Amino acid sequence: MTRYADIPKPIRSGIVVVDPERGTPQRVIVLQFNPDTLERSIAPQSAGDSGDGGSGGTGGGDRNEALRLKGPAQETWKFTAEIDATDQLEIAAPDGIHPQLATLEMLVQPTTAQLRAASELTKKGTIEISPIEMPLTLFTWGSKRVMPVRLTELSVNESAFDVNLNPIRASLSIGMKILTVSDLPAGHRGADLYMAHLAQKERLAALARGGSLGMLGLGGADLVTGRG
């Protein structure tokens, strides 16, 4: 008989909802299937404009700021997640995948208790009501990618239902923005987690093998004189 005990189980990606005060996980959402692809967009926060500042150009930024950064790059992630109750027949699902969908949707919704509290403040004549603060959300993609995020997009495509019209299969397009120290107040736990995430990038970058100028068809003098 063939044995597969030594085959490691794949690590699942997921979302962790954290109490920002205590740092304790409030809920762990494990994606049923790891997405096949990830789309990441990274935009630097340049201090100066990116336009051409030469003669005849349209650039109007300060040339002294061309190589300066105002802060961490703004990074967004997009991926498609799949939920399929028929792949977990050993688990009773009288409500289909309603619970899994609701869990994800509540990441972008205030609770009824929060809405009632805001309504009570309005009735008491409170002029300014602070926006409702959501829990700290982390996205994990293995041990080397654990970062604070804010969901910016959640699109659900339900494609199969049971006899009671409970959805049993769906694909979700999820978009999120990585929260940096520019987005969070000083001392916030999420800011510390972002710094740890950035430090991990620095460690990985240090492991990359560097090339040589010769591989680019250049010599050291070429960089000094600007000649090929």
pLDDT for the residue numbered 226: 62
Residue written as tokens 């409702």?
132
Of the candidates 12, 47, 5, 45, the residue with the CA atom closest to the CA atom of residue 28: 12
Residue written as tokens 């300066």?
68
Of residues 118 and 84, the one with the higher pLDDT is: 84
The predicted model scores a pTM of: 0.81
pLDDT digits (tens, 9 = 90+) for 154-186: 999 999 999 999 999 999 999 999 999 999 998
**Cα(86)–Cα(175) distance, rounded to whole angstroms?**
26
**Cα(205)–Cα(178) distance, rounded to whole angstroms?**
19
Three-state secondary structure call for residue 152: strand
Radius of gyration of the chain (CA): 24
Residue 15 burial (10 A CB sphere; 0-12, 13-18, 19+): buried
Average pLDDT over residues 91-104: 88
Residue written as tokens 């005060």?
21
pLDDT digits (tens, 9 = 90+) for 179-226: 999 999 988 999 999 999 999 999 999 999 888 888 888 876 766 666
142-159 as b/e: b if 16+ CB within 10 A? eeeeebbbbbeebeeebe
pLDDT for the residue numbered 50: 53
Return the DSSP state at 216: G
118-128 as b/e: b if 16+ CB within 10 A? beeeeeeeeee
Of the candidates 45, 4, 15, the residue with the CA atom closest to the CA atom of residue 151: 15
Tokens read off for 182: 């520019």
**Is residue 228 scored above 80 in pLDDT?**
no
Q: How confident is the model at residue 6 (pLDDT cuts 50, 70, 90)?
A: low
Per DSSP, helices labelled H in the chain are 98-105, 112-123, 189-207, 220-225
Average pLDDT over residues 5-19: 83
Of the candidates 96, 83, 90, 73, the residue with the CA atom closest to the CA atom of residue 29: 83
